[in-house]
Amino acid sequence: MLLLVTCQLMLVAVANDGSSLWLPRERNIQPSTFVKGSKGMALEELRNYYRGEVPVRLKLNRKARSGDAYIITATPERITLSSGTPSGLLYAAYDLLRMQQLGEVHSVESHPRFSLRLLNHWDNLDGSVERGYAGKSIWKWEQMQVSGKKVIMTPALRQRICDYARANASIGINGVVINNVNASPKMLSAEVLQKVQAISQLLEPYGIRTYLSINFASPKALGGLPTADPLDPQVRLWWQQKVDEIYRLMPRFGGFLVKANSEGQPGPGDYHRTHADGANMLADALQPHGGIVMWRCFVYGANHKGEDRVKQAVSEFQPLDGQFRQNVILQTKNGPLDFQPREPYSPVFDQIKQTPNMAELQITQEYTGQSRHLVYLAPMWKEFFSHVHPMRLCGIAGVANIGDDANWCGHHFSQANWYAFGRLAWNPDLSSEEIAREWLQLTFTKDEAFVRPMTEVMLASHEACVDYMMPLGLHHIFQFDHHYGPDPGGFKPDYPLEWCPVYYHQADSLGVGFDRSSTGSGATAQYREPYRSMYDKVSTCPENLLLWFHHVPWSHRMKSGLTLWEELCAHYNRGVNEVDRFHAVWQELRPLVLSADGNDARRWQEVEERLRHQQANAREWRRSCLDYFRPFAGEQSE
Ligand code: GCV
């Protein structure tokens, strides 16, 4: 009999699939009566999830501090949350819930460092996600039926979008660009816009504005005009009317994100116009409604073809600085190339002085093991902020790693990157360690015997990835197109040279690395001092970027006393050993993961399988890269 009952209980316990992310899992059976005050999503969330017995008051004080700043005052008798905006109150509510989950409620004063804290989805209308590694798009367009002015959505889709909005709001994200920068013109069709409106209505109560990526040729492709020339009056009128239509549907619409004249996308250059001409035309249409244009600087292979690829964005945009309308923001990837495991910061942030700048980070791990490797990205983003001070940016965008997988991100630990992005977008002064600890406690268990070693693993994981993929400043030696495994010898005569790995490492019998110093491509000259001089000389260039900026002899003595070749081998070995160590830690922690939450076997097992895969991949990277470079270095195989 006892056995039967136990079995039934076990059947009832649903395996934790990671879908609840870092959010509180247990909803109150009866809404809490201890929470009172300003109506809205903050009140609803606290009624559902606040478990304390100290009364909570929500005060919306429109005259209070500006923006989404909030104050939590906690005394033994009462907790008061106040803000000048409903979304500020909501952020305060999530902070309180976070403190409750972590077991310590205290007073807080908080304000966001960036006013724009955006996710960029690279989701396509056909349900695929460019560089998505967690299933298909969460926007199920086919599960939305337009009927007259209404959009009927399946309950499952509605729930998923609300869960998504909630997760974002809980970490302070306040805007989402819902489609790929390689944008389909159809995104602006009347039918799709109606569906976008339905999505935006679910996001708005969580303080999240909707933005769209647009295809610059839409007036031609969708509007039937003979041109998309930004100075053509018909084209300008088309955009104005399209923007008016969007704002009739969504008065709080945020604006457009644009990839133009880059990787085959149309743009103003097709009509011999500048990026400023293109951006300003859209800005003029959006301005009366308070909308913005985020114009991407990820542009290469057009006007400056043949120039070192990492220099092209500055060459293109720096002469235009000062020519953009006030509601244009230039959005630039953290590094000058393309989301490599390690890059120096992009010198666009030094050279664009009169136009507001936004940084684009990549949460989805295109070049850092996709959703198969445990790589915690906060340390990489902090490295970027240590060179480009957050004060110089008005916003921050993260390319989302979210899909329709049950656990949202493919790898359970990839959730930490979504979480860390939001937390840093709110407060870039938080340390990687604080964020990792917080996330582990909220997502797994508060048991220090688990949190301490796993925090250490997370913190070491980015450097390990750099070591087993591309140490010492090597870059872009990935396999073509999917960018997953190694291909240091990659060369395709029919591809642009700047997509070929051999272009980036320039290995020969003398040495390895891309000479970007004043004796080479001169990319170092695009940096402000002290970086310009520091990067320019082999003797002062940080060793972790040495081969990014210099072609270095194989016999060069590194600071360790090893030759360059020996140092390269040491890094590859260290990377592999680190992943072996991460796996050993995870195995040791199995009992703690399992006992933390009686139904956590699934998550443990899924992470376990991925770590094994990562171990095999790290070995493959080491073998492939060292085998390839060895003959250049004049070394014999082992
Ligand atoms: C959205 C890289 C990626 C592309 C991506 C592009 C971009 O080239 O591989 O998939 O396209 O960056 O950021 O525009």
Q: How far is the CA of 180 from the centre of ligand 1 (A)?
A: 10
Is the domain of 488 the same as that of 426?
no
* pLDDT at residue 12, rounded to an integer: 43
Q: How far is the CA of 503 from the centre of ligand 1 (A)?
A: 19
Q: Which of the four pLDDT bands, split at 50, 70 and 90, describes residue 13?
A: low
Q: How far is the CA of 465 from the centre of ligand 1 (A)?
A: 21
Here the CATH number for the domain that contains residue 627 is 3.90.1330.10
Is the domain of 257 the same as that of 127?
yes
Please compute Rg for the chain using Cα positions: 25
Here the CATH number for the domain that contains residue 60 is 3.30.379.10
Q: Which of the four pLDDT bands, split at 50, 70 and 90, describes residue 502?
A: very high
Distance between first and last Cα of the chain: 64
Is the domain of 92 the same as that of 184?
no
Instruction: Report percent pLDDT > 70 for the chain.
Output: 97
Q: CA-to-CA distance for 21 and 408, rounded, in angstroms? A: 8
Domain presence at residue 482: yes
Instruction: Report percent pLDDT > 90 for the chain.
Output: 94
Is the domain of 198 the same as that of 309?
yes
* pLDDT at residue 581, rounded to an integer: 98
Query: Three-state DSSP class for 55?
Result: coil
Final residue of a domain: which of 374, 397, 430? 430
Domain presence at residue 439: no
* pLDDT at residue 24, rounded to an integer: 94
Amino acid type, 402? I
Q: 384 pLDDT exceeds 60?
A: yes
Is the domain of 137 the same as that of 170?
yes
**Nearest in space to 210 (alpha carbons), one of 220, 199, 195, 224:** 199
| Averaged pLDDT, 213-230 | 98
Q: How far is the CA of 338 from the centre of ligand 1 (A)?
A: 8
pLDDT tens-place string over residues 581-602? 999 999 999 999 998 777 899 9
Q: Which of the four pLDDT bands, split at 50, 70 and 90, describes residue 63?
A: confident
Q: Which residues approach ligand 1 with their CB closer than 6 A?
A: 122, 130-131, 180-182, 259, 263, 298, 338
Is the domain of 132 the same as that of 87?
no
Is the domain of 122 the same as that of 54?
no
Q: 123 pLDDT exceeds 70?
A: yes
List the catalytic residue out of 17, 263, 606, 635: 263
What number does the ligand 1 atom closest to the CA of 360 have?
A: 13
Q: CA-to-CA distance for 32 and 27, rounded, in angstroms? A: 10
Domain presence at residue 19: no
Q: Is 263 a known active-site residue?
A: yes
Domain presence at residue 227: yes
Q: Is 467 a known active-site residue?
A: no
Final residue of a domain: which of 398, 430, 462? 430
Is the domain of 123 the same as that of 57?
no
What number does the ligand 1 atom closest to the CA of 265 have?
A: 14
Q: Which of the four pLDDT bands, split at 50, 70 and 90, describes residue 638?
A: low
53: containing domain: 35-110
Q: Is 88 exposed, middle or buried (0-12, 13-18, 19+ CB in 10 A)?
A: buried
* pLDDT at residue 295, rounded to an integer: 99
Are 258 and 216 a contacting pair, CB within 8 Å? yes
Q: How many domains does the chain have?
A: 3
| 11-25, 306-320, 580-594, 605-619, range with the lowest pLDDT | 11-25
Is the domain of 60 the same as that of 131?
no
Domain presence at residue 465: no
Is the domain of 167 the same as that of 127?
yes
Q: CA-to-CA distance for 542 and 564, rounded, in angstroms? A: 14
Query: Three-state DSSP class for 73?
Result: strand
Is the domain of 99 the same as that of 135?
no
Domain presence at residue 11: no
Structure tokens at 187: 């995104």
Give the mutation target among 338, 361, 479 for probing the ligand 1 site: most ligand atoms within 8 A of CB.
Answer: 338
The 8-class DSSP code of residue 520 comes to T
* pLDDT at residue 637, rounded to an integer: 76
Final residue of a domain: which of 430, 450, 485? 430
Is the domain of 395 the same as that of 485?
no
Give the mutation target among 123, 124, 128, 131 for probing the ligand 1 site: most ligand atoms within 8 A of CB.
Answer: 131
Q: Which of the four pLDDT bands, split at 50, 70 and 90, describes residue 224?
A: very high
* pLDDT at residue 548, rounded to an integer: 98
Q: CA-to-CA distance for 41 and 53, rounded, in angstroms? A: 20
What number does the ligand 1 atom closest to the CA of 181 have?
A: 1
**Nearest in space to 603 (alpha carbons), one of 367, 443, 395:** 443
Here the CATH number for the domain that contains residue 313 is 3.20.20.80
Domain presence at residue 585: yes
Q: How far is the CA of 32 from the centre of ligand 1 (A)?
A: 46
Domain presence at residue 209: yes
Mean pLDDT rounded to a whole number for the chain? 96
Q: How many CA atoms lie within 13 A of 76 on its CB side?
A: 0
Q: Is 438 a known active-site residue?
A: no
Q: 4 pLDDT exceeds 70?
A: no
